[in-house]
């Protein structure tokens, strides 16, 4: 028998059956319905398919780089992308945790993350973190048998002298608040006088504090309030070393002037408004415009005579750039309370600075005016704009604007220098961040402070 002649085959490769092992080794699947090998004495014709090879010197792809169809492993890339995204979220959450609970360094790190992944994404993640924090507070409330502690032990306060027979000055109005949650905490809704007005008006309270819980759905949310008699105090606004004017190249001193630290002039200091990136709300003080004003934004202003006005810029007749009597003003979001009515848009996050965080339950603060013209500051935990407004309305505020939010930035302190010259500092709420010294030596953020003054009978 003559041998079968076969045409020579050059540079041809047999296309193999699909790989059946994940390690990339070639295996062959047996034919169905029989032995994997057929024995025959007849020559078998094998059909070959030509596979073009660009260059015989080019190495074959590594076995691990091919999938079942010989394509790049898209699934592995997708898994890597998912893991990268998860790790990024965890990183940002960790940064947010630092910014909320571990001081200004953590807050600066969070600002860096905003520059990397953008303010909207960071705000969304921060909102998730705040929601988790609120859930933890609810769980703690349930596990503690629904017990809530008052922020301080209520005491009678200083005994005020008897008013003179011909006293012409009436004390500022301290409106008792009926608790919105039953039963109320000890002392809830009651005002306590902290100090008295300077002589010869020492029979009048200078400042007072109170607390109330405005949200039955969140009974652990407590709003602490401070009320000041503006006849014996003067309000000041200080621009921070970075915010809000830093992005525009206008940096403030970030500290209380040395003159106002002399003797016992300094009475209180508390946080200002949002950062420049969170709305670009205006600030001007002592003739320096850190950020231009926005029409319609809530604005608190101080005249050269020390009078205070609170309203919407360009709407209130006193609040406009033509009024040369304005010494300082600060804007922030929309009016929270206007003529005794809580803003109906408190449910709309965009109405409170265009940030996702404005609809979250978190620490919030506000500044407002009472019917008699006295000044009120409010701050508390686990609040929305609406519940903050309810607390201020319960206190009797007729005008109010929300200031800064979030656990690290909301803070208020009371100052008193004793006979030995030592300056004492007390937090309004023990849970607040900070020491109070940041306003004495320098801070990145803008803030308000009040000094004690002794007016003449005419100005009082």
pLDDT tens, position by position, 167-194: 888 999 999 999 999 999 999 999 999 9
Mean pLDDT along residues 45-63: 48
Average confidence score pLDDT of the chain: 82
Last residue of a domain, one of 125, 143, 161: 143
Q: What CA–CA distances, in Å, run from 104 to 45, 127, 239, 378?
A: 80, 19, 17, 22
Is there a domain that residue 107 lies in?
yes
Is there a domain that residue 309 lies in?
yes
The whole-number pLDDT of residue 39 equals 40
Q: Flag whether pLDDT at 340 surpasses 90.
A: yes
> 304 and 198 in one domain?
yes
Last residue of a domain, one of 127, 143, 159: 143
The whole-number pLDDT of residue 8 equals 55
Is this structure's pTM higher than 0.85? no
> 335 and 212 in one domain?
yes
Distance CA 68, CA 285 (A): 70
Which range of residues forms the domain containing residue 80? Answer: 74-143
Is there a domain that residue 355 lies in?
yes
The residue with greater pLDDT, 150 or 51, is 150
Say if CB 208 and CB 227 are below 8 A apart: yes
| pLDDT band at residue 396 under the 50/70/90 scheme | very high
Q: Flag whether pLDDT at 17 surpasses 60.
A: no
Is there a domain that residue 15 lies in?
no
Q: Flag whether pLDDT at 23 surpasses 50.
A: no
Distance CA 214, CA 140 (A): 19
Would you state the structure tokens that stand for residue 35, as one six-digit string? 């032995």
Return the beta strands (E) in 87-170 as ranges. none
> 319 and 229 in one domain?
yes
Is there a domain that residue 324 lies in?
yes
The whole-number pLDDT of residue 3 equals 55
The whole-number pLDDT of residue 131 equals 74
pLDDT cut 90: percent of the chain above it: 57
The residue with greater pLDDT, 305 or 81, is 305
Last residue of a domain, one of 86, 121, 143: 143
Is there a domain that residue 427 lies in?
yes
Distance CA 316, CA 14 (A): 86
Q: What CA–CA distances, in Å, run from 429 to 120, 336, 387?
A: 31, 22, 18
> 395 and 321 in one domain?
yes
Distance CA 302, CA 313 (A): 13
For the chain, what is the domain count?
Answer: 2
Is there a domain that residue 22 lies in?
no
The whole-number pLDDT of residue 83 equals 67
Lowest mean pLDDT among 232-236, 299-303, 417-421: 417-421
């Amino acid at each position: 028998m003559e041998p079968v002649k076969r045409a020579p085959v050059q540079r041809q490769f047999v296309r193999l059956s699909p790989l059946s092992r994940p390690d990339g080794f070639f295996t062959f699947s047996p034919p169905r319905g029989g032995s994997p090998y057929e024995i025959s004495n007849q020559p078998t014709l094998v059909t070959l398919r030509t596979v073009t090879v660009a260059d015989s010197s080019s190495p074959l792809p590594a076995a691990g780089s091919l999938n079942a169809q010989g394509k790049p492993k898209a699934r592995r890339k997708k898994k890597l992308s998912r893991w990268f995204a998860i790790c990024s979220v965890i990183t940002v959450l960790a940064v947010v945790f630092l910014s909320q609970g571990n001081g200004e360094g953590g807050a600066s790190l969070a600002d860096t993350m905003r520059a990397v992944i953008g303010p909207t994404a960071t705000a969304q993640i921060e909102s998730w973190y705040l929601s988790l924090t609120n859930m933890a507070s609810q769980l703690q409330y349930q596990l503690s048998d629904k017990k809530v502690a008052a922020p301080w032990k209520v005491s009678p306060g200083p005994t005020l002298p008897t008013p003179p027979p011909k006293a012409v000055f009436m004390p500022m109005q301290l409106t008792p608040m009926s608790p919105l949650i039953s039963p109320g905490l000890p002392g809830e809704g009651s005002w306590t006088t902290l100090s008295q007005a300077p002589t010869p008006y020492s029979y009048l309270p200078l400042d007072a504090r109170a607390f109330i819980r405005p949200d039955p759905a969140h009974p652990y949310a407590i709003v602490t309030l401070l009320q000041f008699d503006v006849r014996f105090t003067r309000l000041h606004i200080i621009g921070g070393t970075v915010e809000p004017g830093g992005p525009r190249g206008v940096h403030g001193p970030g500290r209380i002037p040395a003159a106002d630290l002399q003797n016992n002039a300094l009475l209180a200091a508390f946080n200002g408004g949002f950062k420049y990136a969170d709305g670009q709300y205006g600030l001007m003080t002592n003739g320096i415009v850190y950020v231009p004003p926005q029409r319609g934004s809530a604005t608190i202003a101080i005249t050269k005579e020390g009078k205070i006005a609170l309203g919407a810029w360009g709407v209130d007749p006193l609040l406009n750039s033509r009024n040369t009597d304005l010494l300082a003003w600060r804007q922030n979001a929309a009016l929270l309370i206007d003529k005794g009515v809580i803003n109906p848009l408190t449910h709309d996050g965009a109405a409170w600075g265009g940030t996702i965080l404005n609809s979250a339950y978190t620490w919030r603060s506000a500044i407002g005016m009472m019917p008699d013209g006295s000044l009120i500051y409010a701050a508390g935990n686990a609040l929305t704009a609406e519940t903050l407004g309810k607390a201020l309305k319960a206190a009797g505020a007729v005008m109010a604007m929300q200031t800064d939010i979030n656990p690290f930035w909301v803070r208020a302190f009371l100052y008193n220098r004793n006979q030995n010259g030592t300056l004492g500092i007390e937090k309004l709420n023990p849970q607040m961040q900070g020491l109070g010294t940041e306003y004495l030596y320098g801070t990145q953020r803008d803030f308000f402070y009040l000094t004690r003054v002794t007016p003449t009978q005419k100005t009082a």
